[in-house]
Every structure is written in C-alpha cells, then in structure tokens.
Amino acid sequence: MHPYTVSESVKERVLRRKGRLVCIDSIEPARAALVVIDMQNHFVAEGFPSEAAPARGIVGNINRLAQAMRAAGGTVAWIQTTATGALERWANHHHHGLRPEVRDRRLASLAEDSPGFQLYPALQALPDDLYVRKIMFSALVPGSSDLHEVLSRRGIDTLLIAGTTTNVCCDSTARDAMMLDYRVAMLSDGTATRHDEEHAATLNNYQLFFGDVMTVDEAIARLGRKP
C-alpha cells in the first residue's frame, strides 16, 4: 500500500470542525491500549480465505509500537475473530449476508482450533498481553466481546487502533470506541486493507467525524508526553 496522506480539503474541514488536526497530543501509557484487530492468518497470511496482503506490510510497525507501549507501561490487546458463537449471536449476517459456501469456509477457518484463527506468526505477541475474542466486526458492540469491560477495569480511556481491515473491523471498532467516549486514534501505517482508496477514504472520514489519525511514530512520540 502507498503511504496515506491527508488531503488539503480534509485538513481544512478537520481544522474548521475541531480547531486542530490531532486532538490527542499526549498519551498517558497507564490509561492507554494498543488494540490490534484481526491480525490472524485468516486475514493476513498468503492463501487464506480473507487475505488482505497489504496487512503483512504493517507487521513491523505494529511490533514496534507494541514494544514501545509495553516499555512505557501501556497495554497491548490482541483481538481475534472467532467462529464460536457466531451463528447464535450474529445469525442474520451469517445466514442471509453471506453465500453458504462463503459462510462455511469462514466459520471453518476461524474455528479456534484452526490455523486461520491463530495470530500471524511474525507478530511479537507476548503472554502478558491481553487476548480478546470477538464475533462481530466491531469488538465493542454488545454481544461481540468483553473488550469494553476489560479495558474499563484497567482504567483505560485512550485507544490506538491497528490491524486489518481498515475499512471494516478497525473502523467499526474505532467508531464504537468513540461512541463509548474513549479517546481514539487510528494508525495510518498500522492499519491496512486491500486497496489504497478504501484505506484513505476510511481514514479521511474517521478524522472528519470520529477521532484522530496518526502514524506509529507520532503515537510513540506522544507516549508519556506531558499534556
């Protein structure tokens, strides 16, 4: 994927609406989490059913930010889509929104004993990180996962959203996070989808109405910075 660049027209609209391009100018590590969404073989690895090949290109950035978050005392949360409970809790999508062969392939690949469910091997996930399983596109919509409860117990109010795909599960989770009153930034070089135009359109719309967009380097620079 080509690097994301915010257009002048979007900058102008963001400034007119918010007064500044980035509202999160400091990140208190103890109250922050890097939320890495769906970086599983099913979505990332070559030849798997929902492969988004550009997601392999963000692995290094995710690892680098995860290391910085841990070193600063922040939380790293790995979100994995599971087939367990999908037919019961998201029945209409699976029965009416997908062709039967697509549904069956998806559920088989995302079964928790399947290679598709596992995190992409090049990711540097550690045992002390958080691991949360979700059913729906958003990890924060009721019935999808217990991510909101887990974060709330830790006193976390700031989320950095990484993973794949930018325009589906990352965007859905990031929007719901904003609605739940988290401070949220989507990471332009820590998220990926299949096409540049979908990636850019999602990031443009997100910063216009929902939250911040920043790079991994910008997020690292804000860790521990005094307000």
- Tens digit of pLDDT for each residue in 4-40? 999 999 999 999 999 999 999 999 999 999 999 999 9
What is the DSSP code (8-state) at residue 120? P
pLDDT recorded at residue 227:
74
- Tens digit of pLDDT for each residue in 183-224? 999 999 999 999 999 999 999 999 999 999 999 999 999 998
Say if 98 falls within a structural domain: no
Say if 88 falls within a structural domain: no
Say if 3 falls within a structural domain: no
The whole domain housing 193 covers 8-82+120-222
Say if 165 falls within a structural domain: yes
* Total residues found in the chain within this entry: 227
Reply yes or no on whether the pLDDT at 151 is more than 90: yes
Q: Are 174 and 159 in contact (CB under 8 A)?
A: yes
Q: How many domains does the chain have?
A: 1
Reply yes or no on whether the pLDDT at 72 is more than 80: yes
Say if 100 falls within a structural domain: no
Q: Are 208 and 9 in contact (CB under 8 A)?
A: no
pLDDT recorded at residue 224:
82
Listing from the earlier edge strand, what are the strands of the sheet with 75-81?
130-134, 75-81, 32-37, 158-164, 183-192, 212-214
Instruction: Output the pTM of the full model.
Output: 0.96
- Tens digit of pLDDT for each residue in 113-137? 999 999 999 999 999 999 999 999 9
- Tens digit of pLDDT for each residue in 78-99? 999 999 999 999 999 999 999 9
CA 165 to chain centroid, in Å, comes to 8
Say if 188 falls within a structural domain: yes
**Phi/psi at 157 (nearest 5 deg)?**
-130, 0
Say if 106 falls within a structural domain: no
Say if 51 falls within a structural domain: yes
To the nearest whole percent, how much of the chain has pLDDT over 90? 97
On the question of a cis peptide bond just before residue 165, with omega within 30 degrees of 0, the verdict is yes
CATH number at residue 128: 3.40.50.850
pLDDT recorded at residue 1:
82
- 226: confidence class by pLDDT, cuts 50, 70, 90: confident
What is the DSSP code (8-state) at residue 54? G
